[in-house]
Amino acid sequence: MGKWVYSFGDGKAEGQSSMRNLLGGKGANLAEMSNLGLPVPPGFTITTEVCTYYYDHGQQYPDELKSQVKAALDAVGALTGRGFGDPENPLLVSVRSGARASMPGMMDTVLNLGLNDITVEALAQGAGDPRFAYDSYRRFITMYSNVVLGVEHHAFEEALEYYKEGKGVSLDTELGAEDWKHLVGKYKAIVKAEHGADFPQAPEDQLWGAIGAVFDSWMIPRAKKYRELNSIPESWGTAVNVQAMVFGNMGDTSATGVAFTRNPSTGERALYGEFLINAQGEDVVAGIRTPQDITEKARIEAKSDRPSMELAMPDSYAELVRIYGLLENHYRDMQDMEFTIESGKLWMLQTRNGKRTAKAALRIAVDLAAEGLITEEEAIGRVEPAALDQLLHPTIDPKAERKVIAAGLPASPGAATGEIVFNSEDAEAARKAERKCILVRVETSPEDIHGMHASEGILTTRGGMTSHAAVVARGMGKPCVSGVGSIRVDYKAGTLSVAGTTLNAGDKITIDGSTGQVLLGEVAMLEPSLSGEFATLMGWADKVRTMKVRTNADTPTDARAARNFGAEGIGLCRTEHMFFEGDRIVAVREMILADDVEGRRAALAKILPYQRQDFVELFTIMSGLPVTIRLLDPPLHEFLPHTDEEVRDVATSTGVSEDKLRRRMTELHEFNPMLGFRGCRLAIAFPEIAEMQARAIFEAAVQAAKETGAPVTPEVMVPLVFTKMEFDIVKARIDAMAKAVAAETGGTVDYQVGTMIELPRAALRAGDIAETAEFFSFGTNDLTQTALGISRDDAATFLGAYTQKGILAADPFISIDQEGVGELVRIGVERGRAVRPDIKLGICGEHGGDPASVAFCQDVGLDYVSCSPYRVPIARLAAAQAALAAKAAKAAK
């Protein structure tokens, strides 16, 4: 007989925090808090294995589950002195989801379960408060009908708003017991009309309906989208947590709230959060009422006239402070806590490691290490490398003119500009059209997850710092301004109105998530400045990583940015990018149109000074660090015109006839250019091109060394080889040019010649090629295309379906296909090192900035990774984490 249910409460539990895979994050932490002796309402967790069974068996439950649930429910009743379904002393419960990975707001919750037309009277009598009882009942009908029966939430909201309007009140708290009793009748009528059956009255039916709804919610679109965005496997499933209700809506001595042990936006060590008196949990996150600050310091900073929890409920506040200190020391991380105060007693409903911005993650990791709670190596592992992307984007220039039209809460830091869109569908359409947008909503809900992902930033008119919009935006690293109450949004008209100004969908605004400001139009931005905790953590990371991190850079601007981000050289300089600038393209076209080698050499002589100066700048910026320069790679037709107008212009500028130009275009046309006349094939057919580039490299190296006094170490890379003979032919030209330049200048250059491994055959014959190649750089962009037979430019039409169906674990152009492409890299490494043990090995595809791919590179033993400038910090941290993981794995053997 399998164990499907684990109980907790009264200072003990059958589970613990290490069992999150089985109990989910919420269930494991509820068990842990119970074991710590904290005030946790008793309850039980139905394991994630039931979810797996449920979907594997046609949405049926294991045979033993019902009896185990009944036994656990009886135990909760014994601890609370109540009975589930007891008409005189009813036990009410909450039913919540809880996957092993935190998925805030993605799955369904039901509160106050067990209420019906009979037990509501018993609740009223027991509490001595009919208003509280019927308020709880109408909440239960609303949530249960929406989650389990599929009745739209707005049907109940419209009835409530219509009733309040008739009564001349604006707040829910202004309604009394008779009002709620009347609305309960209205709500049940709505259920009958919409659902076609009466609202269920049997508590046991209610319970199993809610349990089924939680398991069903694992597969609803918003949950699937969240898992896709956060790489959470579908196979994990969710647990279900059933817990005795405690009530924050029992009057002025009751409350509910959410608190973080440190500021999730900045990382500051201070209790941070919001609460509401006489409310239930969903009121805080839904933005239905404006929440109050927990600390007096936060209230003063927010200029709020509503009392803080510190002043309004000092005893409960003191208990919360005690518990937060205990939990943070126990978990050794910032905690996100949910609590309820029922008639003056504080109850803990949840704790979990809090989601945070990259800025906060850095500060918290460094501070926890300084406080002695974690080690420096543990601090390195506390920051997601990809999250650093949040810090590497522009902020608003303080000198820029700010046309502030409204202000709200600074819910998620950073700044963004874009056109206004009012729904998620328009946000996705804008992204597909490559237009930046700001998603503007009254409040977001989990259904907006895809629109939030598609937008540059989020603006809401309701909600606080812990609202859905705020929490999700922080997790995504997008700026968010919430609670902008002065803005009026008219979805039907597609307008945003504030202080006499009306903006339409498509108009541009800027939001500043660090200040809460909303600005008119596009505003100047500043590049990020990284220091403080970033520098500290990167210093720790650099001490432990074993792989170097270089950058892919073709311009001085890119090279400088990469140096500022800590790049240790250039792993890929694509020389063809330099050919398109200014007058150079004219000379390049003259070379392509030349009838003989003398004509090509004459044109190349015009390009030489440009190439040489480009390399001088790159060598100077890298100041002695290695620079890998790839010889011309793309097919020549890419440099020729495409339209009739361009043909006329090029014919005029080069002095050749349009007919000759068109003939040459026809000669160079290819059906599959990616596998055509490119790479080393150009250097073999037209060796004068490689000779010019090699001369430019060596002359620049001599010049830069003289000017800077720093040694210059160029690495000349021959692209797209699949045989040793190809490489040797081109290498001979490069070596001959190095000797010629040395003889002419009197300066010698310490250089290496290597190749890019980007064809499967090159990986398989790496041993042969390594006999003469001094380094390999794995070009995993093209190696992925050639190994999988997938065109990167055309794959978008089907890769989504492949990842959704599990054929591919991830987009292979974002994260390396370790089983296929990775195996070719592994073969290339092993066979190359077998022949030349000291061969330098790196990767220069975009995979060099992907944390999972960096970990793979560590595993196969590469010397360095190379990535775009703004991903250098990500690669540095990922390389450190990979080195620590390898160290731990070795120690475990």
Q: In the structure encoding, which two tokens stand for residue 156, read together?
A: 């109940």
Q: In the structure encoding, which two tokens stand for residue 462, read together?
A: 């309701």
Residue 776: how many CB atoms within 10 A of its CB?
29
Residue 888, SS3 per DSSP: helix
Q: Which residues contact 175 (CB under 8 A, 6 or more apart)?
A: 131, 135, 164, 167, 169, 183
Residue 561, SS3 per DSSP: helix
Long-range CB contacts for residues 543-546, cutoff 8 Å, separation at least 24: 544/377, 544/380, 544/880, 544/883, 544/884, 544/887, 545/876, 545/879, 545/880, 545/882, 545/883, 546/858, 546/879, 546/883
φ/ψ (deg, to 5) at 766 = -60, -30
Alpha-carbon gap, residue 91 to 112, rounded angstroms: 9
Alpha-carbon gap, residue 59 to 66, rounded angstroms: 14
Q: Are strands 272-277 and 109-113 parallel, antiparallel or unpaired?
A: unpaired
The runs of H, that is alpha helices, within 416-532 are: 424-432, 449-454, 468-476
Give catalytic status of residue 468 as yes or no: yes
- C-alpha distances (whole Å) from 347 to each of 124, 316, 425, 697 are 21, 10, 40, 70
Q: How many CA atoms are closer than 13 Å to the CA of 20, on its beta-carbon side?
A: 14
Q: Give the amino acid at 754.
A: G
Do the beta carbons of residue 294 and residue 257 sit within 8 Å? Answer: yes
Q: Give the amino acid at 506.
A: G
Q: In the structure encoding, which two tokens stand for residue 592, read together?
A: 């392509």
Alpha-carbon gap, residue 680 to 686, rounded angstroms: 10
Strand partners, 840: 775
Alpha-carbon gap, residue 152 to 137, rounded angstroms: 17
DSSP class per residue in 686-720: -HHHHHHHHHHHHHHHHHHHHHH-S---EEEEE-S
Alpha-carbon gap, residue 246 to 279, rounded angstroms: 11
Q: Is 667 exposed, middle or buried (0-12, 13-18, 19+ CB in 10 A)?
A: exposed
- C-alpha distances (whole Å) from 411 to each of 307, 407, 483, 681 are 21, 12, 9, 55
Alpha-carbon gap, residue 263 to 273, rounded angstroms: 8
Give catalytic status of residue 844 as yes or no: yes
Alpha-carbon gap, residue 472 to 466, rounded angstroms: 9
b (16+ CB within 10 A) / e for 170-188 = eebeebeeebbbebbebbb
Q: Which residues contact 476 (CB under 8 A, 6 or more apart)?
A: 229, 452, 453
Alpha-carbon gap, residue 193 to 451, rounded angstroms: 32
Strand partners, 503: 496
Q: In the structure encoding, which two tokens stand for residue 892, read together?
A: 């475990």
Q: Which of 51, 480, 573, 844 is catalytic?
A: 844
**Closest by alpha carbon to 469, among 449, 499, 444, 486?**
444
Helix axes 203-217, 130-147, angle to 10 degrees: 50
Alpha-carbon gap, residue 290 to 351, rounded angstroms: 23
Alpha-carbon gap, residue 493 to 509, rounded angstroms: 18
Residue 236: how many CB atoms within 10 A of its CB?
17
Do the beta carbons of residue 49 and residue 214 sit within 8 Å? Answer: no
Q: In the structure encoding, which two tokens stand for residue 843, read together?
A: 């990767």
Q: Which of 437, 450, 453, 468 is catalytic?
A: 468
Residues tagged active-site: 468, 844
